[in-house]
Structure 1
Amino acid sequence: MGDGETRRYLPNKRLTWQRLQRGWSREELVKQLAGSMRAHGDGESGLTAHTVRRWESGQRWPEPRFRKHLVLLFGMPASELGLLTIEELENQPGDPSVTDSAVTDTALSAMVSAELRRLLMSDGGGIGRQQFLRAALAAGLSPFLASATVEKADAAWHSPGHARDPRAVEAYESVTASQRSLYWTAPVDTMWEATLGHLRLGLTLLGQATTHRDGADSLAGAVAETALLAARIAFFDLDNPTIATRCFEQAETAVEHAGDHALAAAIAAHRAFVPGFAGDSLAARRHLDVAQAHARFGGGPNLRAWMHCVTAEIHARTGHGATARDQIRQAEHALGTAGSDPDWLDYFSPARLAAFAGNAELLAGRHESATRWLDRSLGELDLDPQAGKQRAVVLLDLAAAHAPTDVDHAATLAHQACDMLGDHPYGAAVERIPAVHQALAGTPAGVELVDRTRALRLPSVTTDA
């Protein structure tokens, strides 16, 4: 353990997770606790980051005065922060045999039940339960799930806690992996409905069965990955940040129960795009801080490089071009570092890095440098049969980069992108079109492009998610 002490308690992963979810180092948690204690007239804390490390590692238990302020600071009950001993948990009303793990099960079941009621039992125009089951089965679930009925689902819903069927978990994880691959080529409206149905099914399965905190919950991880995919579709494909945010929130809740730091980092960094694209650098920075905190515990070179690229794009969009360039350099360096990346990290590669770099240079007004990066990206993407969405983005960025010096070539590139978007709409590419319009304004090619792009429409997908 580094200091010769014997661990007296189980590691407090809940406290660690909540700290990381706020993007706080142990030093920052010490500062926050000291501020809370002063504000409530409880004197100086005398805490150090070393003491916090001992709390989290199980070498030491927080004193009552510190537990009080941890509860105040995080705004969560002591049981949800792992601050109650087994003896203290026995004092809660009800069954005295309830354990710390059971408390977590109850909290997760309550979360799932509330979410399912909102998603599946809405009085509004959302998808009904029968439609939901049909959509879930259509998404490719294994045959044994086809016998499920609404009545059985309702019975399990109101009586959670039975043993989890490993076949259901395996089937769910298999569909999650299949949808990850299908995302790149399937029609966006069909993909959205299938992913949303699969997310709802995952919430149902989580609510029906008992979970444990003594290891990673693979089902919760698959649900978190599905919620992240739904959020990506909502934001990047359908240009709907409101629904994307709700899906991100579901992903964050599920990944906490999965205990997957790499996936938590990916969720937080993706969520940073929402305020980042809106120009809110402070809010984006908060999500990026959370992502960086989790990435220290999981992920490999591609995840680290991608996170630098995300930071670069957000900096470029919020007027920090110099720091964006530095982030790209750090991304290149990260690709050569050690470690392994998860299978779900299929949205990043050296070609994507070049695309991020080209866009950052374009936003900073460095057109020649942007062109070099984007040409490099396009050349590599042309070799990838699943890179159609990204190719449309790069073509439009290239059009904007070439517009000041070669109007005709810029127009040709833009029309190529429009051809692709006509067949496969993609919100992240459509979002680039106004910049190309502006770059070609006052030219015949620009007028023609405006007429052409008026016909481009993203799918209109309604949901109560």
Structure 2
Amino acid sequence: MPQQARTNTRLRAARVAAGYHSQQALASALSVGVRQVRRWESEAPPWPHPDLQERLTRLLSQTMEGLGFRAPAGRDSGPELRRPQRASASGVLAAVPLQSAAAMQPATVATDYQSVTRAHRRMYWSVAPATLHPTVLAHAALGCSLLPETAGQTRASVASALGESWLLAGRIEFFDLQEPERAAATLLRALQAAGEADDQLLGAAVLAHSAFIPAWKGRRDDAVQRLVAARTYARRGSAPAILLAWLDAVEAECETRAGNTRTALHLIGHAEDLLADDVDQEVGPEWLDWFSPVRLQAFRGDTELRAGHLPQARTTLTAVLEALPADEEKQRSVVLGDLAAVEAAAGSPEAACQHALSALDQLERTWYATGMDRIREVRRSLAPHQHEPCVRALDERLYGWSTTVSALAR
């Protein structure tokens, strides 16, 4: 049996753990020839040039000695490392000492961590937010702990999934738990994790979500500034049309909140044009599951309502309700609430109450604080009709034992 060639097993192990499963993959990441990597993985690897030492140690998160190299006599042992990082007690990533080669996680940890992140994303649409939220936070804490034990592509994949987990936690805090200050801190962590992964599109999504927070408080200029940053990230990441259209929809929502409905409708029209011109229907990021052409029309219907264009809003929202997939239950409660608001503004309290009751039916199945907010707004607008039977029937449901207790508990 021929004797197996001896190799630099330390470098090979670090390469594989970092997600570079071939010598060519590492060569491409370092912008060197594959022959150079082959020499480094030989039994007696040559001492790399200083600039390659810097790139090797940064990419693989190991010292030169940890990668199996020995400095020639009279030469220093290579650059000091400042990475990887971990999470501090506040959840913000902070520098930590270098981990040894033995402590590095295998490349499979990225796939495993991503699979749980993906499962949480799907569960958001059906699991009670107060139940899901602590699980998502615990998963994010795990991701922060894994970062110091990963490098290269593996590290980038874990960091990207970590950013998505923080984003999901922030979405729950803002839209479901109605804790905007907490959401702001969580979204900052999501942005930092996206930066660790150099994930431009995820960074754009986080920044756009952060724009909702000042917009809801009436600080339009702050919201628009964050959207300018989000569009910059999207441009750097060559964002697909569906993500660019969502950014238009977010800005339209912020402008609507500020009373600038004409500007908002212009932005929605631009988003519609983007989607219409997307003949190749380029697929968006996997995590962009909160937006679609139908959701864009829901944005339009809400803006038309707030602009006082009631016939158009009624037509738009009715079409949205018919087109919504069956599993989009949270969005259905919002659309029903908007339809109730249209009828209340049109002076049709019975029709308004009918839609509001349907929304409450939906909320009993899948709770969504944003949907409940819509119903409460409708009830306030029905104050002139509060003695009519239909409004009293709505009150019976809105302030029944189960509904009231559930709302307070959540």
Q: Bin the TM-score by the shorter chain.
A: 0.7 to 0.9
- Structure 1 unmatched runs, 5+: 1-85, 87-94, 119-156
Aligned match of 1:425: 367
The answer on whether the counterparts of 2:167 and 2:187 sit within 8 Å (CA) in structure 1 is yes
| Match for residue 178 of structure 2 among 239, 244, 248 | 239
- For residues 390 and 255 of structure 1, the distance between their equivalents in structure 2, rounded to whole angstroms, comes to 27
The residue number in structure 1 matching 2:262 is: 322
2:151 equivalent to 1:211: yes
| Correspondences of 1:69-88 after superposition (within 5 Å) | none
Aligned positions of 1:379-390 closer than 5 A: 379-381=322-324, 384-390=325-331
Shift of 1:163: 1.9
2:241 aligned partner: 301
Question: What does 1:46-445 align with in structure 2 at a 5 Å threshold?
Answer: 97-98=78-79, 102-103=81-82, 105-106=83-84, 108-109=85-86, 112-115=87-90, 160=99, 162-207=103-148, 209-212=149-152, 217-298=156-237, 299-335=239-275, 336-337=277-278, 339-381=282-324, 384-403=325-344, 404-443=346-385, 444=388, 445=390
Alignment partners' CA distance in 2, 1:203 and 1:306: 29
1:216–1:259 contact (8 Å) kept in structure 2: no
1:342 is displaced (CA, Å) by 1.1
Count of residue correspondences? 324
Aligned residue for 1:231, secondary structure, equals helix
- Quote the offset at 1:114 in angstroms: 4.1
**In structure 1, distance between residues paired with 2:151 and 2:395:** 54
Equivalent pair of 2:110/2:155 in contact (CA under 8 Å):
no
The CA deviation at 1:447 is: 4.1
Cα distance in 2 for partners of 1:291, 1:310 equals: 11
**Residues 287 and 189 (structure 1 numbering): CA distance in 2 closer, same or farther, change over 3 Å?**
same
CA distance in 2, matches of 1:320, 1:412: 30
Q: Distance in 2 between matches of 1:266 and 1:423?
A: 28
Q: Tell me which amino acid in the other structure corresponds to 1:422.
A: E
1:405 deviates by 3.6
Q: TM-score, normalised on structure 2?
A: 0.73
**Where has structure 1 moved over 6 Å in runs of 4 or more?**
none
For residue 439 of structure 1, report the CA deviation from its aligned partner.
Answer: 2.6
Q: How far did residue 372 of structure 1 move?
A: 1.4
Greater shift, 452-461 or 324-333, is seen at: 452-461
Q: Using the TM superposition, give the Cα deviation of residue 96 of structure 1 relative to its aligned residue in structure 2, in angstroms.
A: 7.1
Rounded Cα–Cα distance in structure 2 between residues aligned with 1:294 and 1:313: 20
Preserved CA contact (<8 Å) 2:92 2:189: no
Write out per-residue CA displacement over residues 291-330 of structure 1, whole angstroms, 9 at most, x where no aligned residue.
Answer: 1001112321111111111111110011111100001101
Distance 2:312 2:268 in 1: 13
SS in 1 for 2:383: coil
Letter in 1 for 2:332: R
Task: Tell whether the 8 Å contact from 2:294 to 2:323 is kept in structure 1 after alignment.
Answer: yes
Report % sequence identity.
34
Q: CA deviation at 1:237?
A: 1.2
* In structure 1, distance between residues paired with 2:159 and 2:166: 10
Normalised by the size of structure 1, how large is the TM-score?
0.65
Change (3 A) 1:271 1:288: same
CA RMSD of aligned residues (A): 2.7
Shift of 1:187: 2.0
Structure 1 letter corresponding to 2:320: S
1:158 to partner: Cα distance: 7.8
1:441 is matched by which residue type in structure 2? A
Of the two structures, which has the highest relative contact order with CA contacts closer than 8 Å and spacing of 6 or more? Answer: 1
| Long gaps (5+) in structure 2 | 1-53, 55-75
Q: Secondary structure at the match of 1:292?
A: helix
Whichever of the two has the greater Rg, that structure is 2
- The alpha-carbon deviation at position 369 of structure 1 amounts to 1.4
3-state DSSP of counterpart to 2:236: coil
Partners of 1:168 and 1:249 in 2: CA distance: 24
Residue 354 (structure 1) shift: 0.8
CA contact (8 A) 2:297 2:317 kept: yes
